[in-house]
């Protein structure tokens, strides 16, 4: 029950993420009772701190390739494959401060995977804000669209 509780808290950003459902909220309530967790906020904060500490130690390659998905698009103005990578952390500045190593890795990954565009979103899961890292004019154009 505790592991499932932690999984739901992680996936839903402690029930604050945009994909959170009423079912998630219900399951957290039920699972916290079964697992005898009195302070869900504390559990989530400790979980996010641990994840953020681990992410801070990852290489640029690990950050760009870690949580990445690719999508194919065909519109009147754009045809191609777009990659989107996400780093969720409690301390976004630690990741953003590594811009000089992240941008070349984004470019290398884009070339390696033959993507038309690749984005890296660094999301502060405490403040629920994100920073989008882009590596070229295609990304800039799509980000502005």
DSSP conformational letter for 144: H
| Token pair in block for residue 39 | 């302070």
pLDDT, residue 78, reads: 85
pLDDT, tens digit (0-9, with 9 covering 90-100), for 85-119: 999 998 899 999 999 999 999 999 999 999 999 99
| Mean pLDDT score across all residues of the chain | 92
Whether this model's pTM surpasses 0.95:
no
Buried b (16+ CB within 10 A) or exposed e, 61-82: eebbbeebeeeeeeeeeeeeeb
pLDDT, residue 11, reads: 87
Other beta carbons within 10 angstroms of residue 42's beta carbon come to 10
């Amino acid at each position: 029950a505790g592991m499932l509780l932690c999984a739901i808290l992680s996936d839903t950003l402690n029930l604050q993420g945009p994909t959170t459902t009423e079912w998630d909220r219900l399951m957290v309530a039920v699972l916290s009772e079964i697992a005898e967790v009195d302070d869900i906020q504390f559990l989530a904060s400790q979980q996010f701190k641990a994840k953020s500490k681990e992410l801070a130690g990852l290489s640029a390659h690990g950050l760009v390739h870690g949580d990445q998905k690719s999508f194919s698009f065909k519109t009147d103005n754009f045809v191609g494959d777009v990659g989107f990578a996400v780093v969720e952390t409690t301390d976004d500045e630690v990741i953003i401060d590594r811009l000089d190593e992240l941008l070349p890795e984004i470019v290398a990954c884009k070339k390696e995977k033959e993507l038309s565009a690749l984005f890296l979103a660094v999301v502060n899961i405490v403040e629920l804000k994100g920073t989008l890292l882009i590596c070229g004019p295609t990304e800039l154009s799509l980000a502005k669209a």
